[in-house]
């Protein structure tokens, strides 16, 4: 006897789980791990932004604050980007569609890059 499959109308979000058929669990779990990695990245960015401003570092104050705010903003957006990417990928797998392009890489790269440049400039000007 096969185990019962969860009903799509009882799973959240319905617009994801109500589409298509259940994919191989390994792919869904890999998608979930990617989601969790983005969430951890967001947490690390938040912690970095708070630490940058909370610690008395030899970085020019205005640039330090700008970098901290940028890291906190990107860290705050990361879980939303993770949710969006997870849901798009899960829905595509369920519908046997091609996987969508990754989302959020640009936000992460530009945000961390600009914050790094601000800290570097702040160190040179201090």
Query: What six digits make up the tokens of 51?
Result: 């630490």
Length of the chain in terms of residues written: 126
The residue extents of the domains of the chain are: 38-125
C-alpha dist (Å) from residue 15 to 9, 34, 90, 116: 9, 20, 11, 39
- The pLDDT profile of the chain, 126 residues, written as one tens digit per residue, is 555 655 556 788 888 888 889 999 999 999 999 999 999 999 999 999 999 999 989 999 999 999 999 999 999 999 999 999 999 999 999 999 999 998 889 999 999 999 999 999 999 998
pLDDT at site 23: 93
DSSP assignment string, 62-95 = HHHHHHHHHHHHHHHHHHHHHHHHHHHHHHHHHT
Query: Residue 83: which residues within 8 A CB-CB, separation 6 or more?
Result: 35
């Amino acid at each position: 006897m096969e185990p019962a499959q969860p009903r799509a109308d009882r799973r959240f979000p319905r617009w994801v789980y109500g589409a298509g058929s259940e994919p191989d669990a390994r792919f869904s779990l890999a998608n979930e791990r990617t989601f969790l990695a983005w969430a951890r990245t967001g947490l690390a960015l938040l912690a970095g932004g708070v630490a940058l401003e909370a610690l008395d570092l030899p970085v020019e104050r205005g640039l330090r604050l700008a970098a901290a705010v940028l890291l906190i903003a990107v860290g705050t957006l990361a879980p939303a980007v993770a949710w969006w990417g997870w849901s798009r990928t899960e829905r595509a797998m369920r519908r046997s569609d091609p996987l969508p392009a990754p989302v959020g890489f640009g936000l992460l790269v530009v945000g961390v890059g600009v914050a790094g440049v601000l800290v570097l400039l702040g160190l040179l000007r201090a």
